[in-house]
Structure 1
Amino acid sequence: MKKYFFRNLTLITFTLLSSYSMNAQVRQQVSTNYDRNSLSVLMLDAGDPYSVQLSKLMDSLKIPEKYFDNSLNISTVPIRVDRAKIAETDSYRKIVPQEQVFEALKQSKVANLAIANWFDRKEDGSFGVKTLAERGVYNATDNDMLVATASKRGTAGLMDMGMGLVDKSYFIVLDFAEILSMSEQYERDSIPADQRTMNGFQGKVNSYVYKLDFSEPVAARFFQDLWISGESDNKEAKRALFDQTDFPLVYINTFSEAVSSTQLNPGQKGAPAVQRSSEEMLESLMDMAYENSLLKLENTTDEFRVKGMVHDVNPIAVKIGRKEGLKFDQRYFVYENRQDRNGNVYSKRKGVIRSMSVADNRTLADGESEPSLFYQVAGGQIDNMGMFVEQKNASGINLFAGYTEGGLSGGGLRLEILLSPFLYEGFAKSGPAKGMTGWKIYLEGAYGNQEFLYDDGLAKFGFYRGSLGISKEIYLTRNVFLDPFVGYGLEGGSPPEDTGESFDSQFIEIGSRLGINIMHNVQLMPAVNLYAIVKSEYLETKESEPIKITYADQFDGRGGAGLSLGLRFMF
C-alpha cells in the first residue's frame, strides 16, 4: 500500500508542477478598476407549484452591504413557460432560454424601474439627482477624495462619479424551475414508507443575470429626450415616452444548482425538538439559492471582484473593508503589471494574501480611511509600489491525502473546514486578530493493515479509524507554515477471517504538520503524529459484552509516535 501511495504522490506532484508551468505562460492583464455595483433581485413567476408562497418571501432577501440596493417596486416577473417542452431538451437544469427571460423583463419594464430609482423619479415624471450624487460620493475612495479636494470643483466633482455607476446596475432573476416537497418526491420516486424520514423541500433553481446598458449613447438620449425637471416643456409627452421606452439590457450569465431545505421527521433519531414550518424551510431554500448565485457571480464576473492598491507593507494593508464586503481570512491575489517586449501590458501574480483584520469603512472617504490588514500565504515579496489586489474567493474547504508510518499506520483522507471567519465575527468583530487566522475543524478517516500474532500465528489485521479535531496554521515564511493539531478518534481492528471479532479503541491524537507550498493551493505536508490510546475493548461478536483490554498487549507497537506525508488541496 505504501509503495502505491508514494508512487501516486510523485505522479500527482509532477502533474501539478507541469500544469503550473504551462498556466504561468498565459499572460493577461487584470483590471485594477472597481466600483460598487447595484443589485435588483427578482423572481420569475410561471405559475409553478409554490410560486405564490415563494413570491411572498421575496422581500426577505437582503442586498449585501457590498452593493447599492436598487430594489424595485416589483419582486416578481410574470412569464409564460412550457416546462415540459424545455425538459425535453434540458431534463436536468430546465433552463428557460435567456431571450425569453429578456422579453419577460422588458414587458415588466425592469430597466425603466431601475433608472427611475437612480434618478429619483416622482409621480409627475420629474427626475432628480440626490440618489445619484449620494452614491457617487459613497463610492469614492481615499484617492478619489484627495484628487477631488485638490481640484477647482472640490468634492462636488465626486457627485459626478455617480453617473458612471448607473451602467453598473445588475438584475438577478431567480427561477425556481422545479421545487418538490419531500412527500411529493417520495411519491414520485416510489420510496417505501419506512424510508420516508424527512420533510421539507428540494429542487432546482436557475439564476439569470442581466445588466442595464446605460452607456453614453443611451444616457445621452435619456437626458435629451426623456429628462423632466421643473422647467421642462412637454412634460406629459416626455413622461409617456419614458414609460414606452425599452431601455436595453445585457445578458451576463446563467447559474444552475440543486437546493434543499429539509429536516428529520418527528420521532426520527436526531430530529429537531421544534420543527421548522414549511414557510421557514422555503425561505431557507430561497436564501441558499440567492447567496450561491451571488458567490458564483463574484467568481465568474470581473466587475464583481473587489480590487484595491497595496497601501502599505509590514503588515500588508489595503484600503478596503466592510463597505466592500471583505470577510475575515478571505483570500486575495496580489498582482503587478508588467510589459513584454512588444509593449503589451500583462499582470503577474506576485503573491496570495488573507485578511487578518476587517476595517469598518462604511462611511464617506476622507482621505485617511483605516485600511484592512493582511498576511501572506504564498508567493514572493510584496511591495506598495504599484501592486494591487483582487478578490479570489476560496470555499474554505481543504482535502488532505496522506500515509502514516508508525503510530496508527495507514492511508487516509482529512477534510478541513475553515473556522476563522466565524470566530472573528463571534468574538473580535474589529481590529487585527492574527491569532484567529487559520483555525480549522477537521474530520479524518484512514485504513491500514498490519500483521500481528493471532491464533499462534501471524495474521494481517485491518484497521479503520476516524477522528475529529482542530488545527491552527502558523506561517513561518511566505510559503512555509506549521499546522499543529489535536483531535479525538475511534479505531476498529478485525482479523482477516470473518469471525465477528473486533478490537475497538478510543484515542487522542496530537501533532504538527509542516506545510510547504507547491502551488498557492497545493501543499506537500510531512507531519509528526502522536496517538495516545485511552480506552480499548474486545468483542467476540457484535452481540457480546465488551471486554476491556490493553491495546499495546494485543497489538504490540501500534499507537505512539508516527510520521506521515501527503498532499493538501485547497478549494
Structure 2
Amino acid sequence: SATVRGKTLLADAGEELIGNTFVVVSRFNYVSKEEIMGAAKRGLSLLQEYGGQYAQIAAKVGSLAADVASKGYVIQASSYLYKLSWNDSIASVFYENYWIDSTYNSPEKKLAFENTDLFKLELVGFDKAWADLQSTIFTQKSEDELIRIATVKAIDAVIAKLQKQHDVFKTKTPLYSVDPLAAKIGLKEGLEKGDKYEVLEQYIDEEGRTRYDRKGIVRVDKQIWDNRYMAAEEMALEGKSDDVNVTILKGAGKFYPGLLIRQIK
C-alpha cells in the first residue's frame, strides 16, 4: 500500500529529520551610530529612546573616538524559534491520508494535503542579539552593503543564542581531527573557552532508527576559530592574519574524525 511504501521510504531517508524541522522568524531594528551618538549628545535617555539593549551599545560606542564611532550601523535581531509538531499520531494520519510519490499519484490526496490544518508549529523560544559594524573597516562598501553585512551578523548571533538555550535546536558537528583534537565551529556558533561538548557515535538500531552513543566529553581550548560572516575580510583589511580555521578542543577518549559533538551544559 502507499502507506507502507511511504513509511518505508521515509524511514530509510531518516524520518527523524521531519521532527527536526524548524522555522525562525526575525524582526530587525536598524539604528545608525550617528543616531545613537546624536541622542547621547542631546542628553536624551538612551534607555528610553532605544531600550536597554542600545544603552549597552551606546556605552561601547561612547568609548570610541567620535569620528569613528559615528560611522556604521547597529542591527538588533529579535527572533522567534518554532518547531514542527510531529509525533506518531500525526505521522500515521500523514501516511494514510496525504502520502504520494512518483509511483503512487493521487490528486485527491494532493488536494487534501494542500488544504489540511494537520501540521502546526510550536513556539520553542525567543531571543535577541545585535551586531555592530563600523563603516571605517569597509570603506569601499555602500550603505546597503553595510546594512546587509550587519544584518547577517545579527541573525547569526541570535541563532547561536537560541542553539545554546534550547537542546532541541542544538546541532551536531563532526570532529575534524584528533591530533590536534579540533572541529570546524567557532565564534559564529558563540563558542567560548571552556564550553563543554559530548562526543557521540552515530549508529542505526534494529528498527532502522538513528541512535547516538556517548564516547566522552571535550571542552573548548584557547584557540577559537573566527568563522563569523566577513571575518576573514575584516582581518585582511585590518592587516591581521587569518591562519586559524578550526577550534581546538581538549579531552581524553577513543576519538576518531567523524564522531559528532554536541554542546552540553
**Is 2:125 aligned against 1:253?**
yes
| Aligned residue number for residue 87 of structure 2 | 215
Alignment of 1:165-564 (within 5 A): 165-176=17-28, 178-186=29-37, 191=42, 198-230=70-102, 232=104, 235-246=106-117, 247-263=119-135, 271-272=136-137, 274-303=139-168, 304=170, 306=172, 322=184, 325=185, 333=196, 387-389=215-217, 418-419=222-223, 421=225, 426-427=242-243
Give the distance between the partners of 1:258 and 1:386, measured in 2 at CA.
35
* Separation (CA, whole Å) in 1 of partners of 2:110 and 2:186: 41
SS at match of 1:421: coil
Identity %: 16
Q: Give the Å deviation of 1:276.
A: 2.6
Higher helix residue share = 2
- Decide whether the 8 Å contact of 2:224 with 2:248 is kept in 1: yes
The amino acid that maps onto 2:76 is K
Amino acid at match of 1:204: Q
Q: Which TM-score applies when normalising by structure 2?
A: 0.53
Unaligned 5+ runs, structure 2 = 44-64, 204-212, 227-240, 253-265
Give 1:279 shift. 1.6
SS at 1:160 equivalent: helix
Contact between 1:308 and 1:389, CA under 8 Å: does it hold in 2? no
Structure 1 242/191 Cα, relative in aligned 2: closer, same or farther at 3 Å? same
Aligned-partner residue type, residue 179 of structure 1:
Y
User: Cα 1:239–1:189, aligned 2, differ >3 Å: closer, same or farther?
Assistant: farther
Higher relative contact order (CA 8 A, sep 6+): 2
- The whole-number CA distance in structure 1 between the counterparts of 2:67 and 2:30 is 18
Matched residues, number? 191
CA distance in 2, matches of 1:215, 1:195: 56
Partners of 2:18 and 2:97 lie apart in 1 by 18
CA distance in 2, matches of 1:204, 1:429: 28
Deviation string 1:164-185 (CA, Å, 9 cap, x unpaired) is: 1110111222211x32233444
Whole-angstrom CA distance in 2 between matches of 1:238 and 1:307 = 38
CA deviations over 1:466-521 (Å, ceiling 9, x no partner)? xxxxxxxxx9xx9xxxxxxxxxxxxxxxxxxxxxxxxxxxxxxxxxxxxxxxxxxx
Report if the CA contact (8 A) 2:85-2:120 is conserved.
Answer: yes
Higher radius of gyration, 1 or 2: 1
CA contact (8 A) 2:75 2:151 kept: no
The answer (yes or no) to whether the contact 1:174–1:207 under 8 Å persists in 2 is yes
Q: Which runs of 5 or more residues in structure 1 are unaligned?
A: 1-127, 137-158, 264-270, 337-364, 366-384, 397-417, 431-435, 439-474, 479-571
> 1:250-305: CA deviations, max 9, x gaps?
21111113333233xxxxxxx45834311221122112212212321232122315
Contact 2:81 2:125 in 1 (8 A): yes
User: What do residues 519-556 of structure 1 show as CA deviations (whole Å, max 9, x unaligned)?
Assistant: xxxxxxxxxxxxxxxxxxxxxxxxxxxxxxxxxxxxxx
Q: Is the 8 A contact 1:329 1:421 kept in 2?
A: no
**Shift in Å, 1:426:** 4.8
Which amino acid counterpart does residue 180 of structure 1 have in structure 2?
Answer: V
The CA deviation string for residues 174-197 of structure 1, in whole angstroms up to 9 with x for no partner, is 211x322334445555659x9575
The 1:333–1:274 alpha-carbon spacing in structure 2 relative to 1, beyond 3 Å, is closer
Q: Cα RMSD over matched residues?
A: 4.8
Larger strand percent: 1
Distance in 1 between residues matched to 2:104 and 2:138, nearest whole Å: 64
Q: Post-superposition shift, 1:163?
A: 0.6
* AA matched with 2:90: V
Q: Supply the distance in 2 between the matched residues of 1:426 and 1:335 (Cα, whole angstroms).
A: 28
Q: Distance in 2 between matches of 1:185 and 1:308?
A: 42
Structure 1 Cα separation of the partners of residues 133 and 174 of structure 2:
37
Which residue of 2 is the match for residue 540 of structure 1?
A: none
How far did 1:211 drift? Answer: 0.8
Amino acid corresponding to residue 107 of structure 2 in structure 1: E
2:81 partner amino acid: V
